[in-house]
């Protein structure tokens, strides 16, 4: 298996070394503490490695029946695929992200998975994201469904700027207007989606972008969209358009 390993990741610019107006182009990885950054670089202590290993196991091999391998061959065939999600599904007439696709495919395999945050889904998501490491997102409109795709993107953009919750704050107010500011134990990043899925120390688990977005709704005490809802997929689409040109640098660690 010659997927790019995490230790070959380019040296990241660090948030504290940048002028404030440069911060908006930085990945969440640039906001890691020195300790977490060191852990991320050290393959022997980085928990992400275990998840990648589990992902490779689940993918399966030519010797095993009804695995991902049986239909898709070597995981190399999935190189670059993660960069295209969320994409518009014509049959479903809605956006699907990578975890949705993995979950749907798991129903075709010998090992059905229980939901979007099933550790097996996340392990496979980590593996497939690693296969797109360094590539920019390429979320694009489906030629047959241009209008629907554009509407979904617009909804995501609206959601990003809409005030919500008991704190009456929008995503923009934190992630555009207060980047670099301390908020409790966190430094606010521009909320780029490049580092997902994330192993978050406070969760003691890998988590998807779906879960992270729900945590932000919870943070401002707004009604939390249900897992897998189109609202979250529309936001994900918007965030990936907003991060255009930035390389995928996940899976990664978070506080």
Give the footprint of ligand HEC on this chain (CB under 6 A): 28, 31, 68, 70-72, 78, 81, 84, 101-102, 104-106, 108-109, 124, 128, 160, 169, 171, 173-175, 183, 186, 188-189, 191, 193, 195, 198, 212-213, 216-217, 219-220, 235, 254
Q: Minimum distance between the CB of residue 5 and ligand HEC, rounded to whole angstroms?
A: 20
Distance CA 4, CA 130 (A): 7
Nearest alpha-carbon partner for 25 in 239, 243, 249, 251: 243
Closest to ligand HEC by CB, 49 or 214: 214
Closest to ligand HEC by CB, 151 or 183: 183
**In the bound complex, which residue of the shown chain has the CB atom lying closest to ligand HEC?**
28
179 Cβ neighbours under 8 A, 6+ residues apart: 20, 23, 24, 188, 189, 190
Closest to ligand HEC by CB, 44 or 63: 63
Distance CA 163, CA 95 (A): 24
Closest to ligand HEC by CB, 81 or 237: 81
Q: Minimum distance between the CB of residue 146 and ligand HEC, rounded to whole angstroms?
A: 19
Torsion of CA 173, 220, 155, 84, to 10 degrees: 90
* Tokens 């406070």 belong to residue: 202
Closest to ligand HEC by CB, 148 or 222: 222
Q: Minimum distance between the CB of residue 231 and ligand HEC, rounded to whole angstroms?
A: 9
211 Cβ neighbours under 8 A, 6+ residues apart: 116, 117, 203, 227
* Tokens 């920019």 belong to residue: 136
Widest pairwise Cα distance in the chain:
55
Closest to ligand HEC by CB, 44 or 223: 223
Distance CA 153, CA 45 (A): 39
Q: Minimum distance between the CB of residue 118 and ligand HEC, rounded to whole angstroms?
A: 11
Closest to ligand HEC by CB, 49 or 106: 106
Q: Minimum distance between the CB of residue 32 and ligand HEC, rounded to whole angstroms?
A: 9
Distance CA 255, CA 198 (A): 10
Distance CA 50, CA 247 (A): 23
Q: Minimum distance between the CB of residue 25 and ligand HEC, rounded to whole angstroms?
A: 13
Q: Minimum distance between the CB of residue 125 and ligand HEC, rounded to whole angstroms?
A: 8
């Amino acid at each position: 298996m010659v997927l790019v390993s995490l230790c070959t990741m380019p040296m990241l610019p660090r948030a504290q070394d940048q002028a404030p107006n440069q911060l908006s182009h930085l990945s969440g990885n640039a906001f890691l503490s020195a300790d977490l950054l060191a852990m991320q670089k050290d393959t022997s202590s980085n928990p992400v490695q275990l998840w990648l290993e589990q992902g490779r196991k689940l993918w399966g091999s030519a010797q095993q029946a009804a695995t991902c391998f049986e239909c898709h061959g070597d995981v190399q065939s999935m190189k670059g695929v993660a960069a295209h999600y969320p994409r518009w599904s014509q049959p479903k007439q809605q956006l699907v992200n990578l975890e949705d696709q993995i979950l749907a495919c798991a129903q075709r395999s010998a090992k059905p998975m229980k939901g979007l945050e099933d550790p097996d889904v996340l392990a496979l998501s980590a593996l497939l994201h690693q296969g797109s490491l360094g590539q920019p997102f390429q979320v694009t409109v489906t030629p047959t469904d241009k209008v629907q795709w554009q509407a979904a993107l617009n909804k995501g953009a609206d959601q990003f700027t809409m005030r919500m919750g008991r704190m009456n704050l929008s995503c923009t107010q934190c992630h555009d207007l207060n980047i670099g500011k301390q908020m409790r134990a966190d430094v606010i990043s521009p909320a780029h989606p490049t580092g997902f899925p994330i192993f978050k120390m406070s969760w003691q688990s890998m988590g998807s972008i779906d879960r992270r977005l729900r945590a932000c709704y919870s943070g401002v005490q707004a009604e939390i969209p249900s897992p897998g809802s189109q609202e979250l997929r529309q936001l994900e689409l918007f965030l990936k358009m907003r991060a255009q040109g930035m390389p995928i640098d996940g899976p990664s660690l978070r506080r």
